[in-house]
Chains A and B, each alone.
Chain A
């Protein structure tokens, strides 16, 4: 019975309309809200950690968000998309369909499977698959060719420093 109810719940949650309507976000940290999506734009307000926001727009590295108090632009990495309760609903349905839901173990025999620590521990070397993997190895110049075909050009940028 419990499993049956869960199925219904999961299928209900999987509605695409739900997933798309008015995206919600949560502030990962305190940050400044600005009038425009630029670092030197006028300050119009601030975000506190864990504030809920409505995400209105996205431009480059910036999100336009609406808080209870004001509307403004904030750096994309300061906001976590979705609310705490959102989850991968489609995946949940797949789990139910394949008999994986709620067991903590792979019970399906559908071919596609999980990869648990236990699986990895008991894994045996597979020479054939390794040969296949090796057969796809590309040279640096082949990578370059692929990049050019997509209009990608290399840019110089230093690695970022860590923070505490």
Chain B
């Protein structure tokens, strides 16, 4: 019976049986697992050049009985160190973020404007200096998309769409948006989603040998990495990133209200506008975010000396 076989395979691949109970939820998780499993089936059918997921070393963290389904192919001769999902190292986090971000760039390349890319890196780097993870090799980019959105990936990768960039009016607003994304990385919001779902258990033990290498195997590890960016984080994670983003921009010397300004602008964008479809699908409505920010901010900014907006220095895109 096909569905049964599929399930068995899934269990072997993901070692996360409790996930199946969530298949009916709004997230496309069930579908994603299914797709991933199909890919895996294809790979096995084709006698794929990569070892299947549940090789002995990656199985050590799971009950042995769940791994039998997916190990018809030969295990690699040399044992690879596992990707430590419980507590990934900084290097592992960066390698993971690189995969996700590289896929995003596959969907939408960088805007071909060196001065622009350098500018967002300058602003982003300075805001990131104010956070607890200033040691990460922070990377920022503007991508060629008319959508209004921004993305963060583990390890310090932040992308903002051209559509959102063009809505900005000054450097403080850019700092606020980047601050929000930096906060996601600092709090490891995306990483926690991945950990929780154990989605990446396909070949979990295989990521660490990819560090610093260009290796197709990486794709097997996380599938289409960009997909994580299309999924929603917890609402509380978004509110937390708003609070932190506002503070990070303030710490950097910018006007505190850059991020709220942008939320105001986004809030005035018609919901039916395609450019905000994904953003509105994956984030609480801007009105709710502003209200929450206001509740938390209270009088906290009253004694902060007024920050700069630097609209004159803001790099304008035509």
Whether the pair A161, B296 counts as a contact (CB closer than 8 A) is yes
Cα(A112)–Cα(B125), bound, Å = 27
A157 within 8 A of partner (CB): yes
Q: In the complex, which residues 157-197 of chain B have their Cβ closer than 8 Å to any Cβ of chain A?
A: 157, 161-162, 171
B45 contacts partner chain A, Cβ-Cβ < 8 Å: no
The verdict on A117 contacting B281 (CB below 8 Å), with A136-B117, A152-B254 known, is yes
Query: A81 CA to B270 CA in the complex, in Å?
Result: 14
A-B pairs under 8 A by CB, number? 239
A149-B101 Cα distance, complex, nearest whole Å: 30
Question: Which residues of the partner chain A approach B307 to less than 8 Å between Cβ atoms?
Answer: 155
Interface residues of A in 2-33 (CB under 8 A from B): 28-29
A112/B294 contact (C-beta < 8 A), A87-B273, A120-B230, A129-B110 known: no
* Residues of the A chain whose Cβ atoms lie less than 8 Å from the Cβ of B284: none
Give 1 or 0 for each of B293-318: 1 = CB within 8 Å of chain A CB: 11111011110111110100100000
Closest Cβ of chain B: how far from A49's Cβ, in Å? 9
Cβ-defined contact, B297 with A124, below 8 A: no
A109 at interface by CB-CB < 8 Å: no
B66: min CB distance to chain A, Å: 27
Asked if residues A130 and B105 are in contact (CB atoms below 8 Å), the reply is: yes
Interface residues of A in 88-146 (CB under 8 A from B): 88, 91-92, 94-95, 100, 104, 106, 111-117, 119-127, 129-130, 132-134, 136-140, 142-144, 146
Range of interface residues on B (Cβ < 8 Å): 35 or more
Residue tally, chain A, CB below 8 Å to B = 68
Whether B253 is near chain A, meaning CB under 8 Å from some CB there, is: yes
B256 A61 Cβ-Cβ under 8 A: yes
Q: Counting chain B CB atoms within 10 Å of each CB, which of A77, A80, A134, A162 scores highest?
A: A77
Q: Which of the 9-residue segments B48-56, B76-84, B144-152 touches chain A?
A: B144-152
Q: Which of A86, A123, A142, A150 contacts B308 (CB 8 A)?
A: A150
Instruction: State whether the Cβ of B207 lies closer than 8 Å to any Cβ in chain A.
Output: no
Task: Judge whether B102 and A126 touch: CB under 8 Å.
Answer: yes
Residue on A nearest B141 in the bound complex, by CB:
A133
B8 at the interface (CB under 8 A from A): no
CB pair A113 B294 closer than 8 Å: no
B204 at the interface (CB under 8 A from A): no
Known: A28-B294, A39-B299. A136 touches B140 (CB 8 A): yes
A residues within 8 A CB of B224? 120-124
B104 within 8 A of A: yes
Q: Which residues of A contact B230 (CB under 8 A)?
A: 116-117, 120-121
* Cα–Cα, bound, A60→B172 (Å): 14
Q: Is the CB of A28 within 8 A of B290?
A: yes
Q: 1/0 per residue B242-278: CB within 8 Å of A?
A: 0110110011111011001000100111100111011
Question: Contact between B313 and A150 (Cβ–Cβ < 8 Å)?
Answer: yes
- 19 more contacts with CB within 8 A, not counting A114-B277, A146-B122, are A88-B269, A100-B274, A104-B274, A106-B274, A114-B274, A115-B143, A115-B161, A119-B108, A123-B107, A126-B102, A126-B105, A137-B139, A139-B125, A143-B122, A146-B125, A155-B251, A155-B253, A159-B243, A160-B244
Q: Which residues of B contact A (CB under 8 A)?
A: 28, 98-99, 101-110, 117-118, 121-123, 125-126, 128-130, 134, 137-141, 143-147, 149, 157, 161-162, 171, 214, 218-219, 224-227, 229-230, 236, 239-240, 243-244, 246-247, 250-254, 256-257, 260, 264, 267-270, 273-275, 277-278, 281, 287, 290-297, 299-302, 304-308, 310, 313
Interface residues, chain A, with chain B CB atoms under 8 Å away:
28-29, 38-39, 60-61, 75-78, 80-82, 86-88, 91-92, 94-95, 100, 104, 106, 111-117, 119-127, 129-130, 132-134, 136-140, 142-144, 146-147, 150-163
A-B contact pairs, 8 of them (CB 8 A): A119-B107, A120-B227, A126-B105, A130-B105, A132-B117, A133-B101, A138-B122, A143-B125
